[in-house]
């Protein structure tokens, strides 16, 4: 190892032009706007930025550029950043922004600074025209939480914001842009001559006495052993943002010669709806460990997953996840081909995928496998099984599902569930039970009651519609939890929802009957029985009608769950409050 010193702006320039790049296993840029603003304020205040850890030019064969860099060519890189990516990328965004690719640009709100200075001077009895008082304000009282620095998105000409909106683009602050600053300052004062003193204040606070260029120490690692380098990276956390277990695993596996990101990218093209099933890229890794009979807890991925395990089981895990995708769509009505919004419990996917793969290996009955997994998908959500102890329950359920299939005894699985299903009338639209209920509606292959065409949960042209309008129920003082209960919801097309919105139920029924002769059949398919329809047809609907309707429809849903999935109501929920989320839902 060796050490050296770099100026911050020199490092930012090198990161932008490709002289410094990132090892391929480095995580992506993680900082949010708030952290970039805090970095700027530290630079303005002259605070130290810590040190960097670099690897020499010969340590990596493959690299990637910094986000927002001027060039993507890393072939001439002299150093690779192991620790310091977040600070340097933030520096690029602040001082070397790529006008073509960067989304957020940063500006000093000079009007806000003027206001803050005046307020401080009034309180402290200071003089806003006195240079020493201005310096004191900048050194001791101006801070990031004052929101003097703002981020703006979708800006076509950030340089021009200074004159047009009194927002000073942060690259103006660098000495290398002195000529540009002088030209725009003159243009600004021609348009706003009354702000001559304000420009002097801004120059004093942000330009003439600032260089935004502290010296940073850098340790250069010459180690060429990939496992040592990846381990160094995995143990660093100078930015205050802990590495995720996935990010650490990527670096650890790189040390074993596995390009995990490349493998997952390839898998994403082989597994249908992969991005929906594995949004955090960890399910495939955990599934490989499950198939290997190892501890698959997410936090333990860096310790448990090895190159031999991954290389042996990654194809099986991919096949299992593919089977799970098909099962969720075809057998559970879960629209993972459109959205992840209706997956009740992501953790339940692992036992399901594991059993689908194992059933083939163990030559288990396919029909019985699908049947028990259907019940598991819905029952685990309706009873909120995965609210705690996720890892242990995944392992336990996978084991019990296999035993149940071998012994043809589903009770082996479901007798171990902690909670009991309390009935559809207790379920809100939000949360795992609500998502499961909507998937169950979708499983019935619903038909729009106005057009007679199929509707599909999660599709662009479908909507979750409130049968008794939210406004009507709100006027009656009905709790939002009941307004958004699944017994008051149905799946319709976007156009039907638009036509029904704010109409009382009897008007909705009249519209349906006038335009689609078999509308009652369509309603029945979503558990709106003939008795329910009779309630909906009543003119001048009342609160009692609503209560009667959701009670009858709840029983119809419960009966269907029992008939199709052997899920029975074990406890009553007459007050309709259990497992209901307060979140408001829009049609």
Q: Domain 2-100+214-234: state its class.
A: alpha beta
| Domain regions of the chain by residue span | 2-100+214-234, 105-206, 245-414, 424-565
State residue 302's pLDDT score.
87
Helices (H), 220-306: 226-234, 245-255, 260-270, 274-277, 283-291, 301-304
Q: Order of strands, edge to edge, in the sheet holding 79-83?
A: 2-7, 215-221, 52-56, 79-83, 20-23, 63-64
82 sits in which H/E element? strand 79-83
Token digits of residue 332 = 């559970």
Nearest to 492 by CA among 516, 513, 463: 463
CA–CA separation, 103 and 155 (whole Å): 8
Positions in the chain short of pLDDT 70 = 223-243, 571-587
Encode pLDDT of 560-569 as tens digits: 999 999 999 8
State residue 509's pLDDT score.
95
State residue 582's pLDDT score.
32
CA–CA separation, 97 and 94 (whole Å): 6
CA–CA separation, 255 and 224 (whole Å): 11
Nearest to 144 by CA among 38, 246, 55: 38
Helices (runs of H) and strands (runs of E) counted in the chain: 27, 11
State residue 223's pLDDT score.
62
Contact at 8 Å (CB) between 391 and 297?
yes
Judged by DSSP in three states, 484 sits in coil
CA–CA separation, 268 and 241 (whole Å): 27
State residue 576's pLDDT score.
40
State residue 214's pLDDT score.
93
**Cβ atoms within 10 A of the Cβ of 390, count?**
17
Report which DSSP code applies to 343: -
Angle CA(234)–CA(302)–CA(281) in degrees, nearest 5? 100
Written as one string, the DSSP assignment of 35-50 is HHHHHHHHHHHT----
Encode pLDDT of 68-85 as tens digits: 999 999 988 999 998 899
Contact at 8 Å (CB) between 426 and 578?
yes
pTM for the complete prediction? 0.72
Report which DSSP code applies to 410: T
CA–CA separation, 522 and 445 (whole Å): 10
Token digits of residue 16 = 């932008």
Written as one string, the DSSP assignment of 416-455 is T-SS----GGG-BSSHHHHHHHHHHHHHT--B-TTT--B-
Cβ partners under 8 Å of residue 82, min gap 6:
23, 26, 53, 54, 55, 221, 229, 232, 233, 236
473-502 burial code (b ≥16 CB/10 A, e <16): beeeebebbbbbbbbbbbbbbeebbebbbe
CA–CA separation, 426 and 419 (whole Å): 14
Percent of the chain as helix, strand, coil, to the nearest 5: 55, 10, 35
State residue 355's pLDDT score.
97
Nearest to 376 by CA among 408, 342, 400: 400
CA–CA separation, 103 and 100 (whole Å): 9
């Amino acid at each position: 190892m060796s050490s050296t010193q770099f100026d911050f702006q020199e490092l930012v320039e090198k990161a932008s032009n490709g002289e410094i790049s990132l090892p391929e296993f480095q995580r992506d840029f993680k900082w949010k706007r708030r952290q970039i603003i805090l970095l700027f304020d530290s630079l303005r205040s002259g605070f130290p930025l810590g040190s960097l850890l670099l690897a020499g030019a010969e340590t990596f064969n493959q690299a990637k550029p910094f986000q927002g860099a001027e060039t993507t060519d890393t072939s001439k890189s002299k150093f690779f950043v192991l620790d310091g990516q977040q600070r340097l990328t933030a520096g690029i965004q602040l001082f070397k922004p790529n006008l073509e690719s960067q989304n957020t640009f940063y500006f000093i709100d000079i009007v806000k600074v003027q206001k803050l200075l005046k307020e401080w001077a009034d309180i402290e009895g200071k003089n806003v025209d006195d240079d020493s008082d201005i310096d004191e304000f900048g050194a001791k009282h101006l801070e990031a939480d004052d929101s003097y620095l703002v981020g703006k998105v979708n800006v076509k000409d950030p340089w021009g914001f200074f004159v047009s909106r009194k927002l000073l683009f942060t690259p103006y602050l660098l000495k290398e842009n002195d000529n540009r600053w002088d030209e725009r300052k003159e243009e600004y004062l021609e348009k706003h001559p009354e702000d001559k003193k304000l420009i002097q204040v801004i120059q004093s606070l942000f330009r003439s006495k600032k260089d935004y260029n502290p010296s940073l120490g850098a340790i250069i690692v010459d180690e060429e052993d990939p496992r040592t380098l990846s381990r160094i990276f995995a143990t660093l956390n100078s930015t205050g943002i802990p590495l995720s277990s996935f990010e650490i695993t990527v670096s650890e596996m790189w040390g074993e010669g596995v390009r995990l990101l490349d493998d997952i990218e390839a898998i994403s093209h082989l597994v249908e709806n992969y991005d929906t099933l594995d949004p955090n890229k960890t399910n495939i890794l955990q599934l490989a460990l499950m198939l290997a009979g190892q501890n698959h807890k997410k936090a333990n991925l860096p310790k448990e997953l090895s190159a031999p395990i991954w290389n042996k089981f990654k194809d099986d895990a991919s096949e299992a996840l593919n089977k799970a995708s098909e099962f969720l769509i075809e057998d559970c009505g879960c629209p993972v081909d459109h959205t992840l919004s209706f997956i009740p419990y992501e953790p339940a996917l692992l036992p399901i995928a594991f059993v689908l793969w194992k059933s083939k290996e163990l030559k288990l009955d396919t029909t019985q496998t699908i049947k028990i997994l259907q019940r598991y998908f819905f029952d685990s959500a309706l009873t909120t099984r995965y609210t705690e102890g996720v890892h242990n329950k995944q392992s336990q359920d996978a084991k019990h599902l296999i035993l149940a299939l071998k012994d043809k005894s589903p009770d082996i699985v479901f007798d171990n569930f902690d909670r009991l299903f309390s009935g559809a009338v207790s379920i809100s639209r939000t949360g795992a039970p609500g998502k499961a209920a909507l998937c169950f509606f979708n499983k019935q292959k619903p038909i729009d009651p106005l057009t007679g065409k199929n509707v599909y949960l999660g599709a662009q042209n479908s909507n979750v519609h409130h049968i008794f309008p939210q406004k009507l129920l709100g006027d009656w003082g009905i709790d939002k939890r009941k307004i958004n209960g699944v017994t008051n919801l149905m799946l319709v097309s976007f156009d039907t929802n638009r036509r029904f919105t704010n109409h009382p139920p009897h008007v909705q029924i009249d519209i349906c009957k006038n335009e689609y002769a078999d509308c009652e059949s369509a309603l029945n398919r979503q558990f709106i029985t003939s008795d329910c329809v009779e309630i909906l047809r009543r003119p001048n609907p009342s609160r009692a009608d609503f209560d009667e309707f959701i009670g009858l429809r709840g029983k119809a849903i419960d009966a269907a769950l029992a008939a199709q999935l052997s899920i029975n109501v074990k406890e009553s929920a007459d007050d309709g409050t259990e497992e209901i989320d307060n979140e408001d839902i829009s049609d």
